């Protein structure tokens, strides 16, 4: 018996998302993410409302890249 009455697909944990990304990866690999990170960080610094669907999806599921992106944004923002 399940005690969770809400099968909400947005309820996925980063671990689930990461597993999904590894399986069918509709978005980016870590390598591709890394290649785009400079551009992404610059865009975010210029416009905090900037979104990149592919990057955002990867960063949600990949703590390592997320950390890297955040520190890069902070670095650029501090200049």
| Contacting range for Zn ion; rule: CB under 5 A; set: 2-10, 19-27, 38-46, 55-63 | 55-63
Closer residue to Zn ion in complex, CB, 32/42: 32
Would you say 62 and 18 are in contact if contact means Cβ atoms under 8 Å apart? yes
Residue 70 phi/psi, 5-degree rounding, is -65, -40
Residues in the chain: 79
Q: Is 28 in the site for Zn ion (CB under 5 A)?
A: no
**Shortest spacing between CB 2 and Zn ion, in angstroms:** 32
Question: Rounded distance, CA 72 to CA 75, Å?
Answer: 5
Question: Rounded distance, CA 66 to CA 56, Å?
Answer: 9
Q: Is 63 in the site for Zn ion (CB under 5 A)?
A: no
| Contacting range for Zn ion; rule: CB under 5 A; set: 10-18, 19-27, 39-47, 63-71 | 63-71
* Residue ranges binding Zn ion (CB under 5 A): 30, 33, 62, 65
């Amino acid at each position: 018996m399940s005690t969770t009455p809400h099968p909400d697909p947005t309820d996925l944990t980063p671990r689930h998302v990461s597993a999904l990304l590894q399986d069918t990866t509709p978005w980016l690999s870590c390598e591709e993410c890394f290649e785009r990170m400079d551009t992404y960080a610059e865009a975010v610094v210029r416009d905090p409302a900037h979104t990149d669907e592919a990057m955002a999806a990867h960063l949600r599921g990949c703590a390592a890249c997320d950390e890297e992106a955040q520190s890069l944004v902070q670095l650029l923002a501090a200049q």
